[in-house]
Homo-oligomer: A and B are copies of this chain.
């Protein structure tokens, strides 16, 4: 629609002219009614409306503060594309995830930089077998009864201790719900909290499995840029005012896929924003334990006094995925709803595995296992970072996370990660193009994630050599041969 200048201002009412102008533009933008992305220039609009330039400047400023427009120096003022994630490539992301998870199997002899999952040789099989057999001998048939919906009580007790010992986090056993892995935690929270049309905030980029769970309940998802010390707080504030989110979903330590961790300041700010504006923080944690330095990371949950944070813990990456035991913390005010959601989801998680995992934690097997895997991964991490130095010359950069299982590489602007992905696939190298983690399609095509959870030291060296080779040659024209996004 062309701008109808006559309708913009009413000089006979008390509302200041710049506020009137702000509100008219706001409505036009929200209703997607403007033809051009660029707003009229200040001078031309002032002239048309017969007002002072300052009126226009103030109106545009207000629009910018509220997140509706942005200004480019020397160029003008532009409408921001709506941050609502509407028609995003979720389906494609889903397929990508399927691929990563083995439904579209990777070629067997490829080097797998795509998977974050640990390899079987690292699993504490002997200790867990002891725990399993002991449970069977001790509990006999009891081991296979339905446990409580919230989970086997001794396991909830062990986890409460685990949280205190490892994360300095106090959560009573009555406030813990055992889930069948971390993804189920997301699913249950979605069921409990999301009504069709609710706004949910996520980091951008983020874990696509979370987006899928939220979308499946009809949430409207807003991505907020992830920075090296956490989410962009200014934009968060703007969007809180505009959208009143039900919750924000974050990964505070070694965020996926960026590997960035939150600063203490940002953690505190998010917590107080959540309190002031009455929304929940869903903190998804699957890697906090994997710090490769003396510094111990703590979850945001550790400083949460008011139960604003629902903490989701997956043990899949630091223990074993096939056990499918995780947990979420339960704010008292949601207890009943969450328990009901768990019940309709799968009644309860396997009582037998809960008993075995309880024994495994109780006997302290846990600690030596974490020490062991930290050693292994920190060595892989060192090799990765050392080898990646060779790619500096091609303009590839990354922030050193000093923990976790991945590196998040920024490629030169002109390199498209999807083309690189195809090129790598041809050379038997699996990488993940960053694009699939972003909530908006338009930008960020020049990132890739390289994970070292599933490969050995030699493969790391060989894999990076292949990357180096690819970069040392000019890129082929993309022929979309491999069509990974079916």
Known contacts A141-B122, A209-B344, A347-B183; A352/B339 CB under 8 A? no
Partner of A148, one of B103, B123, B129, B349: B103
For A102, give the chain B residue with the smallest CB separation: B148
- Is A101 positioned at the interface, with any CB of B under 8 Å from its CB? yes
| Residues from chain B with Cβ under 8 Å of A132 in the complex | 132, 136
Q: Which residues of A, 126-161, contact B by the 8 Å Cβ criterion?
A: 128-129, 132-133, 136, 140-150
Query: Is B98 a contact partner of A339 (Cβ separation < 8 A)?
Result: yes
Query: Is B183 a contact partner of A344 (Cβ separation < 8 A)?
Result: yes
A63-104 CB mask vs B (1 if < 8 Å, else 0) is 000000000000000000000000000000010011001110
Min CB gap A155→B, angstroms: 13
Q: Which residues of A, 348-369, contact B by the 8 Å Cβ criterion?
A: 348-353
Query: Is B101 a contact partner of A123 (Cβ separation < 8 A)?
Result: no
Query: Is B136 a contact partner of A346 (Cβ separation < 8 A)?
Result: no
Query: Is B120 a contact partner of A145 (Cβ separation < 8 A)?
Result: yes
Query: Is B125 a contact partner of A322 (Cβ separation < 8 A)?
Result: no
Query: Is A346 a contact partner of B125 (Cβ separation < 8 A)?
Result: no
> Of residues A101, A209, A324, A340, which shows the largest number of chain B Cβ atoms within 10 Å of its Cβ?
A324
- Is A218 positioned at the interface, with any CB of B under 8 Å from its CB? yes
- Is A321 positioned at the interface, with any CB of B under 8 Å from its CB? yes
| Residues from chain B with Cβ under 8 Å of A186 in the complex | 344
For A143, give the chain B residue with the smallest CB separation: B322
Q: Which residues of A, 230-279, contact B by the 8 Å Cβ criterion?
A: none
For A150, give the chain B residue with the smallest CB separation: B103
Chain A binding site: helix, strand, loop or mixed by DSSP? helix
Partner of A98, one of B117, B128, B140, B149: B149
Q: Which residues of A, 365-418, contact B by the 8 Å Cβ criterion?
A: none
- Is A191 positioned at the interface, with any CB of B under 8 Å from its CB? yes
| Residues from chain B with Cβ under 8 Å of A97 in the complex | 343
Alpha-carbon distance A404/B147, docked complex (angstroms): 23
- Is A298 positioned at the interface, with any CB of B under 8 Å from its CB? no
Query: Is B322 a contact partner of A146 (Cβ separation < 8 A)?
Result: yes
Min CB gap A19→B, angstroms: 38
Known contacts A103-B339, A141-B120; A347/B181 CB under 8 A? yes
A180-195 CB mask vs B (1 if < 8 Å, else 0) is 1101101100010000
Query: Is A346 a contact partner of B184 (Cβ separation < 8 A)?
Result: yes
Alpha-carbon distance A104/B425, docked complex (angstroms): 55
For A215, give the chain B residue with the smallest CB separation: B344
- Is A216 positioned at the interface, with any CB of B under 8 Å from its CB? yes
Partner of A322, one of B120, B147, B184, B191: B147
Known contacts A129-B133, A136-B129; A187/B144 CB under 8 A? no
Min CB gap A127→B, angstroms: 11
Partner of A125, one of B123, B144, B149, B340: B144
For A350, give the chain B residue with the smallest CB separation: B324
For A352, give the chain B residue with the smallest CB separation: B322
Query: Is B187 a contact partner of A146 (Cβ separation < 8 A)?
Result: no
| Residues from chain B with Cβ under 8 Å of A143 in the complex | 125, 322
Min CB gap A432→B, angstroms: 16
Query: Is A218 a contact partner of B196 (Cβ separation < 8 A)?
Result: yes
Alpha-carbon distance A360/B353, docked complex (angstroms): 17
Alpha-carbon distance A132/B356, docked complex (angstroms): 12
For A354, give the chain B residue with the smallest CB separation: B322
Alpha-carbon distance A132/B134, docked complex (angstroms): 12
Alpha-carbon distance A179/B350, docked complex (angstroms): 12
A331-342 CB mask vs B (1 if < 8 Å, else 0) is 000000001110
Partner of A102, one of B125, B146, B181: B146
Alpha-carbon distance A344/B183, docked complex (angstroms): 7
> Of residues A123, A140, A149, A345, which shows the largest number of chain B Cβ atoms within 10 Å of its Cβ?
A345
For A97, give the chain B residue with the smallest CB separation: B343
| Residues from chain B with Cβ under 8 Å of A349 in the complex | 180, 324
Q: Which residues of A, 301-349, contact B by the 8 Å Cβ criterion?
A: 316, 320-324, 339-341, 343-349
**Contacts from A to B (Cβ < 8 Å):** 94, 97-98, 101-103, 117, 119-123, 125, 128-129, 132-133, 136, 140-150, 179-181, 183-184, 186-187, 191, 196, 209, 212-213, 216, 218, 316, 320-324, 339-341, 343-353
Among all A-B residue pairs, the 5 with the closest Cβ atoms: A120-B141, A144-B322, A322-B351, A144-B320, A123-B141
Beyond the given pairs A132-B136, A180-B180, 12 more chain A to chain B contacts, judged by CB atoms under 8 angstroms and listed by A's residue number, are: A98-B343, A120-B141, A141-B320, A144-B322, A146-B322, A180-B324, A183-B344, A183-B346, A322-B352, A324-B347, A324-B349, A350-B350
